[in-house]
Structures are given as structure tokens and as C-alpha cells.
Structure 1
Amino acid sequence: MTIAKDIPTNALETQSLSDRAHEESYQIAQAAIMAADDRKAENIVLLAIGDVSSLADYFVIVSGLSKTQVRAIANAVEDAVAEKMGRKPRNIAGLQDSTWVLLDYGDVIVHAMMDKEREYYGLEAFWGHAPKLEVVIPQV
């Protein structure tokens, strides 16, 4: 019997694959955060929802001051994640209206919202039991 190389054969290898997947998710979230910051997104929040749900590993939530800015943030995130991580979103919702654009990468979900929608839907409050991670943006 032959065992494929990419199939874990013991718990140690499984943990290693899991750690690598989690690290990749974090890198996608960081790429999204940096791209959003480049487009002057405000109130950037990173939630580790994987600790409380199987929906995704991370939520990145950012605000824009106008529909144009929200759209620009979403486009910048999509471009940066594709360039740095080689990943395209599974789904993009809300781009036409651009008051709340959602980019779903499976393991990372990016929410670019106008303040009114962000306050109304209260994602941070709804997912308040998820750890809020510190967002560090290197100064260039």
C-alpha cells in the first residue's frame, strides 16, 4: 500500500498542516489589513472568530467614509491578497452598492463597510466573544 505524501500519517503531521493553514489564514488577514490601510480605511479590527466558530479563522472589519472609498478598499484587498498570497475570493458581495462589501476567502472574511452600516449591523458586538487581535501596521 502506498501513502500519498500530502496526507498526514500521524497526529504530529496533522498538527503541522493545521498550523501551516492557520498561519496562511493570518497572512491573508494581514495582507488585507495592509491593503485597507493603504486606502486609508478607518477603525481596522481583526477578530479571531475561528476560536468560537467554524465559519472562518478571521474577520477583518474596516470602515470607509464613502461608497467610493469602500469600493477602493475592497479592490485593493482583492489585488493585494492575489499578489501576495495567490488567492482570489470565493465570493464578493455588495460591490455594486458599496455600503458593505464582503470578500470571502473561506478562512478569512473581509468586511469593508461605511460607518452607518457598521454601526447598524454591529459585527464586533455580535462576534464579541471572539478574541480581538491587535492590529499592527508598520510605518514606512
Structure 2
Amino acid sequence: MDKKNLALRIASVAKSKKAEKVIILDMQKVSGFCDYFVIMSGNSLRQVNAIAEAIQQDLEKNKIKSLSKVSPTDESGWVVLDFVSIVAHIFHKPVREFYSLERLWSDAKRVRIPRRIAE
């Protein structure tokens, strides 16, 4: 699976768990540490952790492992899954608003998410 399709797969799994405001940023021209960010929100800490666990489990089925693990007791409101070339950021809504990665990385181009995933 190429990097862009992996980012789209992460977005798809997130949407299946009712993640909100899912976006993909192409980081290749603005960052040296990864190719894509996939950023999303959950309405509660429990949902944030459920989204993260679903992403991790789905990719592990395809032999893709995260460098980080989801802690079921994480209450920070921000779970980061590092797949080397793709980094998934799963936020609780207020934490996402506070850190505003989209604004911080506003130079990054947004990747269009196909309608079948975005719905």
C-alpha cells in the first residue's frame, strides 16, 4: 500500500468509528519527518481511544505496526499513532482546538478525501 493510500485507509477507519473533521495534510514539502498527517476529532476521551484502537488493529491486519501503542487509560485528549511516513493525530475536540495543528502546518497541502470515505 503506498503512503497516500495508507493515509486514506486511516481516514476511512476513523470515519467508520464516527471521527469528525477528518483531514489529511501532505507534509512532504513542509516536513522532514513524515509524508502525511491524518488529523481527526472524537467527542469524548473514550471515542478518541476507540478510534485509535480501531486504526491500529486495522493496519496490524495488513502487517503495518505503529511505533506507538494506544493506552486504554489515556486521558490526555490527544493520541498519536506513528506509522513512520504517516502520523495519525486523534484529538478530543477541545484539545484539537487548543493545538490547532491545521493552523500550525497551514503551508501543507490538504489531500482530497473521496466522498465514499468523507461521508
Q: TM-score, normalised to structure 2's length?
A: 0.89
Aligned residues: 117
Q: 1:87 — aligned with what?
A: 64
Q: TM-score, normalised to structure 1's length?
A: 0.77
Q: 1:108 — aligned with what?
A: 86
Query: Residues of 2 paired with 1:123 and 1:48: CA distance?
Result: 13
Structure showing greater relative contact order (alpha-carbon pairs closer than 8 Å, 6 or more residues apart): 2
Does the 8 A contact of 1:100 with 1:117 survive in 2? yes
Q: 1:40 — aligned with what?
A: 18
Q: How far 1:28 moved relative to its partner? A: 1.6
Moved over 6 A (4+): none
SS of corresponding position for 1:91: coil
Q: Report the RMSD for the aligned CA atoms in angstroms.
A: 1.9
Larger radius of gyration between Structure 1 and Structure 2 = 1
Structure 1: segments with no counterpart, 5+ residues = 1-22
Structure richer in helix, relative to its length: 1
Query: Residues of 1 paired with 2:112 and 2:9: CA distance?
Result: 15
SS of corresponding position for 2:28: helix
Structure 2: segments with no counterpart, 5+ residues = none
